[in-house]
Amino acid sequence: MKVLVAVKRVVDYNVKVRVKADQSGVETANVKMSMNPFDEIANEQAIRLREAGIAEEVVAVSMGGAKCQETLRTALAMGADRAIHVLSESELQPLAVAKSLAKIVEREQPGIVLLGKQAIDDDSNQTGQMLAALLGWAQGTFVSKLKIEGGTATISREVDEGLESLEIALPAVLTVDLRLNEPRYASLPNIMKAKKKTIDQMTPEELGVDVAPRLHYLKVEEPPKRQGGVKVPDVPALIEKLKSEAGVI
Amino acid sequence: MTILVLAQHDNTVLDKATLHAVTAARAIGGDIHLLVAGQGAAAVAEAAAAVEGIAKVIHVDAEIYANPVAEDLADLLVAMAADYDYFLAAATTFGKNVMPRLAALIDSAQLSDIVEVLGPDTFKRFIYAGNAIATVRSDDKKRVITVRTTTFEATADTGGSAEITTIAAVDPKGLAKFVGREVSGGDRPDLTSARIVVSGGRGLGSGENFAIVEALADSLGAAVGASRAAVDAGYVPNDYQVGQTGKVVAPDLYVAVGISGAIQHLAGMKESKVIIAINKDEDAPIFQVADVGLVGDLFKIVPELTSKL
């Protein structure tokens, strides 16, 4: 079985993002970029499936500008076998990404597609579900445990109430949550090896997908700033403040 | 315009999250219908009919909806799609799971987790863990929307008298099967709707030590939450997590115990009315958003606070 992993290049999770002065978006020039942390977990899981003998090949896919190649090199250095870069310099939204990934799935015929449950830039939490819908496949979202036997995946999902388990038919799309695994660091020899691995490049046009944005981001603003308050010296002063300010006790 | 709101429930009780999604639907305006898909959920359909401002409740009773999977619910929504201009659900894990699947099936670009309705086609939503607010317009004919429950008040669950109609289930494709659910929590208030939340972080040091957070919560009648660090460390189950990727809460009072205040945690609680922080590190970022801070040893402060309340 082949496993396809979708990885997104996003502003690094440690960066405090700044809204552009003209309110057209968030500053991304000269800002540290990394692989979306959830996608790292997805990639790690794909590699573990290969190491466990369940998958034969791990193919990483990324969509976006030329620099997505760096993100794909990271995926390859972690252990993915080869990569596909869908090159597009325009804004890419979840539905367009899902349509493009569906075309790649048609070509590659993986048994499982793994993605992060959401990207930490637009926080949409849509792409995996949309991809599953377009393929007519089962979906397992927010996966924190995964067991594959025969043509079935048994998953544990992190839901608001606790944990939910499902049995889903393969092929399937799985979106991963934080606690599925802890991604490995790429070793130096593996980083060197990754440079020799193949990255195929194609465009949305070649895939026959219209990626024009369907949602129009009219304005991006700073949220209202919350002001820090006072520090109190001890518990009685804290209780006093609780009574006077919060009014809930 | 006609709006379909997907009701969340456990076949017995209508989840309060749905009432917040209804408020967003009312802000958009038009006839609002509530879809109750379940098994033996007649009581939920009746509760839905009593919600203020609902024109119609559509009740579907079938075994496959007892614990429905996204595949089956999305197919049901698609079968109903011709009659609706908007599809709304609360941005809970339930809504987040189902709605994008529907959106792709009807070729609509979903608006996730909206926090404000500016007009029939324009909405506000947070991006970058709440560090920026985007104003977004959708020109799609049918709009699929999930709603952040904390920024819309709950609609009253009494006063309505909607008619209840029933429709047939859509044959399942059998792609996914519900196996079971492990529910944690117990008798404490629900984290997302509690008036007071007490959360613990890595500063607690262990799952056993979390008991002092729980004792404080119980003395306040509060729900218990946790930072991602505390969940990752295994102190508490995943459903305690407050933050960008966990639950978003906005209680009247939020007490952060031993939580440093990482951006992704703040994203889940900074809309709280009053924030109290207890932390030994006086430079912890949590103090930049806290209304009242107390620097010191939480193992002394928290039990003292509990005993004096």
* Interface size, chain A vs chain B, as Cβ–Cβ contacts under 8 Å: 262
- B244 and A123: CB-CB below 8 Å? yes
Nearest-Cα distance to chain A for B163, in Å, is: 30
State CA A232 to chain mean position distance: 41
Does A40 contact B at CB distance below 8 Å?
Answer: no
- B109 and A142: CB-CB below 8 Å? no
Q: What is the distance between the terminal CA atoms of chain B, rounded to a whole angstrom? A: 51
pLDDT in tens, chain A (249 residues): 999 999 999 999 888 899 999 999 999 989 999 999 999 999 999 999 999 999 999 999 999 999 999 999 999 999 999 999 999 999 999 999 999 999 999 999 999 999 999 999 999 999 999 999 999 999 999 999 999 998 999 999 999 989 999 999 999 999 999 989 999 999 999 999 999 999 999 999 999 999 999 999 999 999 988 887 899 999 999 999 888 876 766
Cβ B13 vs Cβ B40: under 8 Å: no
Interface of A with B in 222-241 (CB under 8 A): 222-223, 226, 228-239, 241
Among candidates B181, B287, B308 on the partner chain, residue whose Cβ is nearest the Cβ of A239: B308
Q: How far apart are CA B275 and CA B291, in angstroms?
A: 5
Q: How far apart are CA A34 and CA A157, in angstroms?
A: 26
Considering only CA atoms, which of B64, B10, B180, B76 is closest in space to residue A167? Answer: B180
Q: How far apart are CA B189 and CA B62, in angstroms?
A: 30
- B244 and A158: CB-CB below 8 Å? no
Give the per-residue pLDDT at A249: 67
Residue A63 has a CB neighbour count (10 Å cut-off) of 25
Among candidates A137, A228, A242 on the partner chain, residue whose Cβ is nearest the Cβ of B290: A228
Peptide bond into A189 cis (omega under 30): no
Cβ B65 vs Cβ B38: under 8 Å: yes
Interface of A with B in 206-225 (CB under 8 A): 214-223
pLDDT in tens, chain B (309 residues): 999 999 999 999 999 999 999 999 999 999 999 999 999 999 999 999 999 999 999 999 999 999 999 999 999 999 999 999 999 999 999 999 999 999 999 999 999 999 999 999 999 999 998 899 999 999 999 999 999 999 999 999 999 999 999 999 999 999 999 999 998 767 888 898 899 999 999 999 999 999 999 999 999 999 999 999 999 999 999 899 999 888 999 999 999 999 999 988 999 999 999 999 999 999 999 999 999 999 999 999 999 999 998
Kindly state the tokens that stand for B221: 């009648």
Interface test with A, best of B11, B96, B143, B190 (most A CBs within 10 A): B96
- A169 and B175: CB-CB below 8 Å? yes
Burial annotation A140-156 (CB, 10 A radius, 16+ → b, else e): bbbbbebebeeeebbbb
> Closest-CA residue in chain B for A219?
B135
What is each CA distance from B37 to A70, B77, B265, in whole angstroms? 46, 10, 34
Interface test with A, best of B64, B97, B143 (most A CBs within 10 A): B97
Is pTM beyond 0.80 here?
yes
> Closest-CA residue in chain B for A118?
B245
Q: Three-state SS across B190-221?
A: CCCCCCEEEEECHHHCCCHHHHHHHHHHHHHC
Does A63 contact B at CB distance below 8 Å?
Answer: no
Give B173's contacts in chain A (Cβ within 8 Å): 136
Q: Is the ipTM of this complex over 0.90?
A: yes
Cβ B188 vs Cβ B224: under 8 Å: yes
Q: What share of chain B is helix, strand, coil (3-state, %, to 5)?
A: 30, 30, 40
Q: How far apart are CA B125 and CA B136, in angstroms?
A: 7
Count the helices and strands in chain B (H runs, E runs): 8, 15
Q: How far apart are CA A6 and CA A102, in angstroms?
A: 11
